[in-house]
Amino acid sequence: MDQHDSATTLKCPAPHTRPAATASNGSDPVVTVVEHAIPGLGISPQLRKDLADGAWRFTGGWNLVHTGSGRCVLPLFTPVNLGPLREAAALLAHFDWTLPAEVLRATPGLQEEAYALGTRVTAAAAYGCPLNTTETSWMVQPPSWHVTLTDLTGEPVGGVFCSNYGDAEATAVELGSYEGLGGAFADITISRENDHEWRLRCCRYDCGVVLESDEGVAQVSTADRDQLVVYAADLGWRQLDDRRLLCPACSTAYQSLHT
C-alpha cells in the first residue's frame, strides 16, 4: 500500500504538549492521519475549536504529527498546505520518529530544530512556495532545427521543430515519404533558428518536471521567454518571481492558504 493512500485514526491523550487539532465529542481528541510522510510522522487535518458551540472545524490547513502520540511536531502560525509539510518531514528524517514521544522530547536538538523548521514552513506557506527551490527554472539550449514543407508557390504550409540535425533529417525523410512531393507540396527544407532558446523546469528542488506541450508529447522551447511564461501559465504553471516557476502539481501542493 502506498504511504499516501491510507488513513489512521489515533487516540491522543497529549499530556505536556499541544495535540493536533482534531474532531471529537469525547474528552480525548482523535487524530486522523491522512498521509504517512515518513516512518513515525504523518499529516493530519488542522481543525480549530469553535468557542461558541465547542465544535471542531477544518481550517483548510494541515499538521505534521507524531503518529505514536498524535502530537504536533511543528509550531505553525498560519494554515499550511501539504507540500511544505512533506518537505519538512523529509528534513526531519534523520531523527527516529518511531520512538515514543517521551524519548523524542529528550532527544538533543530535536525541539530546537523543529521550532526553527516550523518558522521556515510558516514563511513558505504564507508565500506559497517550497522550502527548497533551485536558483532558476530557466534552461538555455542551442537553437532548434526547423523542417519546413512548402507548397507550389513557395509558401510554407507546415513544419516541425527538432532539437538536433539528425532528428531534423530523419523527420524530413519521413515527411517526404508520407506526404510525397510534386503534388500539393513542392519542397521540404531544413533550416536553423538564429537565437538560443529557453525551456522551463519546475523550481521545486527535487521535482524536475519540464514544461511540455499541451499534448504532452514534446518539451517546449522558444527564444521568447515572455511567450514561454504565458504558455506555461495557460497549462497551470505558477510564477513565483522572474526566475522561478512551479509546475501544476507543485503549484497546487504549495498554494498559499493564507487569507
Q: Do 187 and 219 lie in a common domain?
A: no
Asked if residue 131 lies in contact with residue 125, where contact means CB atoms within 8 angstroms, the answer is: no
Could you report the per-residue pLDDT of 220-256, keeping only the tens digit for each?
Answer: 888 899 999 999 999 999 999 999 999 999 999 999 9
Q: Do 174 and 218 lie in a common domain?
A: no
Q: Hey, what long-range contacts does 150-157 have (CB within 8 A, 24 or more apart)?
A: 150/185, 150/186, 150/187, 150/188, 150/189, 151/184, 151/185, 151/186, 152/184, 152/186, 154/186, 157/184, 157/185
Asked if residue 23 lies in contact with residue 11, where contact means CB atoms within 8 angstroms, the answer is: no
pLDDT (0 to 100) of residue 14: 31
Domain that holds residue 241: 196-253
The answer to the question of residue 57 being in a domain is: yes
Q: Do 107 and 152 lie in a common domain?
A: no
Q: Do 103 and 150 lie in a common domain?
A: no
Distance set, CA 91 to CA 19, 47, 117, 122, 236 (Å): 22, 25, 9, 15, 28
Q: Do 157 and 50 lie in a common domain?
A: no
pLDDT (0 to 100) of residue 228: 94
Q: Do 112 and 158 lie in a common domain?
A: no
For residue 65 the three cell numbers come to 504529527
Closest by Cα among 58, 36, 28, 32 to 46: 58
pLDDT (0 to 100) of residue 175: 76
In the predicted model, residues of the chain with pLDDT beneath 50 are: 1-29
| Entry pTM | 0.74
| Number of compact structural domains in the chain | 3
**DSSP type of residue 230:** H
